[in-house]
Amino acid sequence: MDRKEVASQALTKALTFQSPVARNNLKRLRRVHPDETPTELAKRVTRHYLELVTTSGGAMGAAGAVPGAGLASAAFDVVTFTEVSVLYVLTLAEIHGIHPEDIERRRLLVQTVLIGDSAIKALNKGADRTVPYWGKQIVNAIPMSAVNKANKVLGPRFITKYGTKQGVLVLSKQIPIGLGIAVGASANYMIGRTIVGTARKVFGPAPEFFELRPDSASIGGVVSDLR
């Protein structure tokens, strides 16, 4: 299986399984940090997201420097990075009161954030106007036919961005493992920072208050939760 197919399958799987995780993640965060505002929780989630992608990048850089491990580590990094990034975007959506129930709306929301400014420009071009914050528009206002059309345009861009770049895999074959770790961590951190910046453009400022308190049901922890 090549990296394009790995990226495509990782995105679809994450969009399916991370949606309830994101909802439960917010409930847990509000239970553990009851006095924090939506803005404070969004900052907390963002910090943990950057820590996770940086750690996974460092592990990939180290593995890529081991003979025979490069391709496997690259595929693992694509899957891990995609799952964590999807959870981050969907958790932010929950914090903003945005609940994309349909998988294609989740796909459009996540792809817009992960692809970046070119995705926002494509949406603005399709709308013939500039929309300041696309998050709620994607979930609440765009007709399903337009969502599907946008996904067909953005899908190949996502696959090209995350399914073909070798990045650290190429560099780490030429450098010691210790430096491979540093390069891998730095590369993932920079990509993560770009995604965080795009998320702010897509979602806008967090609401001042939460509309409803979370229920008191016990929520099981998940390995990839954003604390």
For 11, list phi and psi in degrees, rounded to 5. Answer: -65, -50
Record the tokens describing residue 201, joined without a space.
């453009």
Q: How far apart are CA 165 and CA 189, in angstroms?
A: 16
Q: How far apart are CA 104 and CA 114, in angstroms?
A: 15
Q: Calculate mean pLDDT across residues 182-191.
A: 66
pLDDT tens-place string over residues 41-92: 999 999 999 988 887 654 454 444 444 444 445 566 678 888 999 999 999 9
Q: How far apart are CA 131 and CA 19, in angstroms?
A: 25
Q: What residues contact residue 64 under an 8 Å CB cut-off, 6+ apart?
A: 70, 73, 74, 168, 169, 171, 172, 173, 180, 184
Inform me whether the pLDDT recorded for 18 exceeds 90: yes
Residue type, 47: R
Closest CA to 42 of 4, 81, 3, 98: 98
Whether the CB-CB separation of 30 and 99 falls below 8 Å is answered with no
Q: What is the largest CA-CA distance in the chain?
A: 53
- 214 by DSSP, 3-state: which? coil
pLDDT at 6: 82
